[in-house]
Amino acid sequence: MQKILFLSLLLLTNDLLGSDLPEVRTVPSVNVSRYMGEWYEIARYPARFQEGCLASSATYNLRPDGEIDVINRCRDEEDGRLREAKGKAWVVDSTSNAKLKGSFFWPFRGDYWIIDLGKEYEYAVVATPDRKYLWILGRKPALGKDVLDGILQRLKEQRFDPEKLIWRRD
């Protein structure tokens, strides 16, 4: 009983004190139709579900009902076989279209927030609001140094740690 009381007090204290990190900011607006298509993973935070993945990519297709079909692919590091996961996503903030939810296994779903986006939709940075997951995506498998430097600077401003990034390997 004392353990439960202690844990409850600890959780309540954390809720009252809050986090010292500011809320993750999304981009002000996303044109969902322009966002559709093929994206290549440039870098990511470590994620258990992507262990052993090389040359990851994602394809997004808008469905007539407004939801988005998602196909994530990568090449397995050990045997070179293609790994593929199919899921769906949907917009949860229609004001900006920058906050989405995605699901690959019902009933599990996760946040997909677009926090940086190139003017021509040539790159995107996606994260979760708890800063646990992060992906830098490009329309091509590589981005220029100036573009990457800008992305990394903006990530630092949002209190993401660029040292945690795993860079694309083909």
pLDDT digits (tens, 9 = 90+) for 28-64: 999 999 999 999 999 999 988 888 888 999 999 999 9
Domain extent for 97 = 22-167
CA distances from 136 to 10, 83, 108, 151, 163 (A): 35, 20, 23, 8, 14
Predicted pLDDT of residue 9: 34
Predicted pLDDT of residue 19: 57
CA distances from 42 to 47, 53, 96, 127, 129 (A): 14, 12, 24, 14, 20
CATH number at residue 112: 2.40.128.20
Domain annotation covers residue 100: yes
Place 65 in a pLDDT band, splitting at 50, 70 and 90.
very high
pLDDT digits (tens, 9 = 90+) for 114-170: 999 999 999 999 999 999 999 999 999 999 999 999 999 999 999 999 999 999 887
Domain annotation covers residue 13: no
Domain annotation covers residue 16: no
Q: Which single residue is written with the structure tokens 């939801």? A: 67
Predicted pLDDT of residue 151: 98
H-assigned helices in the chain:
2-17, 32-35, 145-157
Domain annotation covers residue 17: no
Domain annotation covers residue 109: yes
Does the pLDDT at position 66 exceed 80? yes
The number of residues in the chain equals 170
Domain annotation covers residue 11: no
Domain annotation covers residue 4: no
Structural domain count of the chain: 1
